[in-house]
């Protein structure tokens, strides 16, 4: 009975968020409608820029920037990396005095908001069509070793700064640890790392829905491949219309929108800002490759933080020179880290966060639990500025590159 309920919730959520895909109405022009991130910044009165960063494997990444208010001195760059199905919009949606990007700008930082490959504003490649399977042949491993590396190179070259402050949510933390494990030379470009809901180990994942889905990763991979589906949860104009119609404040169906969200991210012990909900659904989900989902599912099943398993001894050996995927060497991570996690988070567990801290025991790691927070409260709760962002800014100041 429970398994049947979870299947119904999963399918219902997918249909609601991907109705246009089912109808064949997905657009692949790299953007849906207007650039909502630029629109959000402009409507809030921010001067902003939009940059294109090309990775070494040809993906074109959009990075929005909020330049510092005071241009007479070299402000320290702050790179804010979003989580899975998110985008750079995640850090500015709550607005002034609420969004982390807004607050860091007000504190004098040079704020950079990347949207990684495959998301709404980064669906471009030098040679590949976004409709091709080859374009979507990436996991969060490639986002780490290629996207994040290219972003750090671009920001430091553009600003002249030697280091950046890196703050991330969910998968944004995963990709940083991938980069520093695989390409440890990038440790020298990170002044501080503030990880919100960091994901690496997932053995004790709390979400019953995702635990069930992860148990079917092999079948899911075959099914989606046979159907020619390589992208999931992409943003479209239809998503945005549905968000306004069904999730807006005062809508009788808004409670259903909240319930669907809570079944995935955890039931919050804090009041949700109902006025913010339709804005979240307008920009989220922003798209994800099926391979990203499968890779996370493999972490749940294996209990390890490791590279993609091709489920073939021959294929694994061809890529890794071994029959099983290698684990990421977290001993290569050499930056000061502060981690925050919510006590009501369905997408991670206290045991797995402590395991990550143990794997990073060679570092100075601060770990802070926020009771009652679910996975996205760290981004959108009205309590996040006082419970989290004050500590983030304090840590950044303590580790300032200007000392």
Q: What is the mean predicted confidence (pLDDT) over 239-247?
A: 77
The answer on pLDDT for 232 being more than 60 is yes
- The one catalytic residue among 125, 165, 169, 375: 375
| Block residue for tokens 């991979």 | 221
Domains and CATH numbers, the chain: 2-200+209-398 (3.40.50.1820)
- Residues 6 or more apart whose CB falls under 8 angstroms from that of 315 comprise none
* 270 part of the active site: no
Q: What is the pTM of this model?
A: 0.90
Classify 366 in phi/psi space as left (phi over 0), alpha (psi -120 to 50) or beta: beta
What is the mean predicted confidence (pLDDT) over 208-216?
80
The pLDDT tens digits of the residues spanning 138-163 come to: 999 999 999 999 999 999 999 999 99
Higher pLDDT residue, 317 or 256?
317
pLDDT of residue 31: 45
DSSP string, 343-368: TT-TTS-HHHHHHHHHHTTTS-EEEE
pLDDT over 60 at 23, yes or no: no
High-pLDDT (> 90) share of the chain, %: 69
Question: Of 175, 65, 164, 152, whose CA–CA distance to 396 is shortest?
Answer: 164
Q: How far apart are CA 255 and CA 253, in angstroms?
A: 5
- Mean pLDDT, the chain, rounded, equals 88
**Cβ-contact 195, 353 below 8 angstroms:** no
- Flag whether pLDDT at 229 surpasses 70: yes
Alpha helices in 273-349 (DSSP H): 277-283, 290-302, 313-320
- Spot the catalytic one: 87, 122, 139, 170: 170
pLDDT of residue 52: 97
3-state secondary structure of 50: strand
Clarify whether 170 is annotated catalytic. Answer: yes
Q: What is the pLDDT of residues 260-271, one digit of tens each?
A: 889 889 999 888
Q: Which tens digit of pLDDT belongs to each residue from 267-285?
A: 998 888 888 988 888 888 8
Q: What percent of the chain has pLDDT over 70?
A: 90
Q: Which two tokens stand for residue 264?
A: 């995935």
Place of tokens 């801290």: 357
Q: How far is CA 252 from CA 246, 249, 256, 293, in A?
A: 8, 9, 8, 32
Other Cβ atoms closer than 10 A to 70 = 9
């Amino acid at each position: 009975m429970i398994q049947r309920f979870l299947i119904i919730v999963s399918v219902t959520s997918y249909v609601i968020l991907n109705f246009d895909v089912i109808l064949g109405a997905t657009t692949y022009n790299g953007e849906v409608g207007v650039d909502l991130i630029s629109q959000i910044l402009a409507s809030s009165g921010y001067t902003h820029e939009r940059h294109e960063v090309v990775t070494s494997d040809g993906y074109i990444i959009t990075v929005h920037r909020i330049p510092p208010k005071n241009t007479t001195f070299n402000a320290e760059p702050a790179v804010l990396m979003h989580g899975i199905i998110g985008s750079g919009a995640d850090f500015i949606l709550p607005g002034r005095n609420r969004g982390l990007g807004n607050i860091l700008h007000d504190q004098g930082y040079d704020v950079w908001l990347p949207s990684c490959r495959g998301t709404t504003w980064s669906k471009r490649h030098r040679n590949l069509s976004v409709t091709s399977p080859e374009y979507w042949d990436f996991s969060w491993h490639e986002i780490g070793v290629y996207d994040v590396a290219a972003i750090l190179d671009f920001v430091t070259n553009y600003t002249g700064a030697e280091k950046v402050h890196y703050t991330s949510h969910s998968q944004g933390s995963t990709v940083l640890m991938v980069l520093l494990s695989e390409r440890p030379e990038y440790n020298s470009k990170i002044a501080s790392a503030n990880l919100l809901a960091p994901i690496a180990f997932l053995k004790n994942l709390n979400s019953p829905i995702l635990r069930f889905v992860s148990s079917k990763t092999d079948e899911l991979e075959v099914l989606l491949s046979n159907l020619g589906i390589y992208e999931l949860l992409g943003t479209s104009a239809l998503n945005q219309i549905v968000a306004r119609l069904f999730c807006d404040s005062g809508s009788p169906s808004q409670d259903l929108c909240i319930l669907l969200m809570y079944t995935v991210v955890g039931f919050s012990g804090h009041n949700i800002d109902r006025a913010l909900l339709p804005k979240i659904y307008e920009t989220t989900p922003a798209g994800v490759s099926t391979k990203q989902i499968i890779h996370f599912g493999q972490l749940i099943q294996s209990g390890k933080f490791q590279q993609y398993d091709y489920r073939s001894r021959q294929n694994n050996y061809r890529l890794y020179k071994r029959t099983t995927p290698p684990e990421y060497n977290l001993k290569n991570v050499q930056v000061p880290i502060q981690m925050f996690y919510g006590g009501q988070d369905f997408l991670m567990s206290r045991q797995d966060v402590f395991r990550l801290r143990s794997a990073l025991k060679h570092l100075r790691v601060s770990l802070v639990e926020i009771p009652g927070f679910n996975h996205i409260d760290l981004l959108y709760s009205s309590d996040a500025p006082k419970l989290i962002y004050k500590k983030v800014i304090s840590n950044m100041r303590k580790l300032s590159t200007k000392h």
